[in-house]
Structures are given as structure tokens and as C-alpha cells.
């Protein structure tokens, strides 16, 4: 979920779709924990999920309120960093 980007949501499709293509991973960089986007754990983790119609409206509200319009903008970000969410956020 933390690796989802704006481009991974198709709310105007019928049915609406969520594309799982990457994951957020925590790595150590210069002695600090950082989260980066990477591959999913297994090839089968990449999939398309149908979004129920009642949920599509809530997702649309979330996108309008919290998510930048850039295709690569993360759907869920840390409060301070606006980057991937980690235990340190």
C-alpha cells in the first residue's frame, strides 16, 4: 500500500482499478533508515484489484485533498517528509 502512486489508480475505468506494481522498502543508508520504492516481494504480488464503487468516491476525495497530481506522487505520505512512511515518521 505504501508504494502506491497516483498513476496506479484508474477511477474512471469500469470497474475502477488499483494497480499494485511496487512496494515501499526500508533500507539503511549512511546509518539511517530510509524508505525507497522497489519491486514487490514476488512476481505474483503485482496485480490489479477492482475497487468497489462506494470506495471509489472516498479515494477520489483522498486524491483531491492529499495527493499531488503528478503521476509519480505517492498516495500515502509521511506528515513531515511527504515521502514514504516509515517507523521513524
Whole-number Å distance between alpha carbons of 50 and 29: 36
DSSP 8-class letter at 42:
S
Burial-class residue 60 by CB neighbours within 10 Å (0-12, 13-18, 19+): middle
Q: What is the pLDDT of residue 46?
A: 94
Residue 79's pLDDT is: 62
Write the pLDDT tens digit of every residue in 32-85.
777 788 888 898 999 999 999 999 999 999 999 888 899 998 888 766 555 555
What confidence category does residue 24 fall into, taking pLDDT thresholds of 50, 70 and 90?
Answer: confident
Phi and psi at residue 49, to the nearest 5°: -120, 130
Instruction: Find out whether the peptide bond into 4 is cis, omega within 30 degrees of 0.
Output: no
Amino acid at each position: 500500500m505504501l508504494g502506491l502512486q497516483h498513476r496506479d489508480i484508474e477511477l474512471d475505468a469500469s470497474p475502477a482499478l488499483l494497480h499494485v506494481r511496487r512496494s515501499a522498502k526500508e533500507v539503511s543508508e549512511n546509518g539511517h533508515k530510509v524508505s525507497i520504492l522497489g519491486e514487490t516481494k514476488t512476481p505474483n504480488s503485482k496485480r490489479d484489484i477492482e475497487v468497489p464503487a462506494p470506495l471509489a468516491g472516498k479515494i477520489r476525495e483522498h486524491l483531491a485533498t492529499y495527493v499531488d497530481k503528478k503521476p509519480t506522487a505517492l498516495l500515502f505520505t509521511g506528515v513531515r517528509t511527504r515521502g514514504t512512511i516509515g517507523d521513524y515518521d
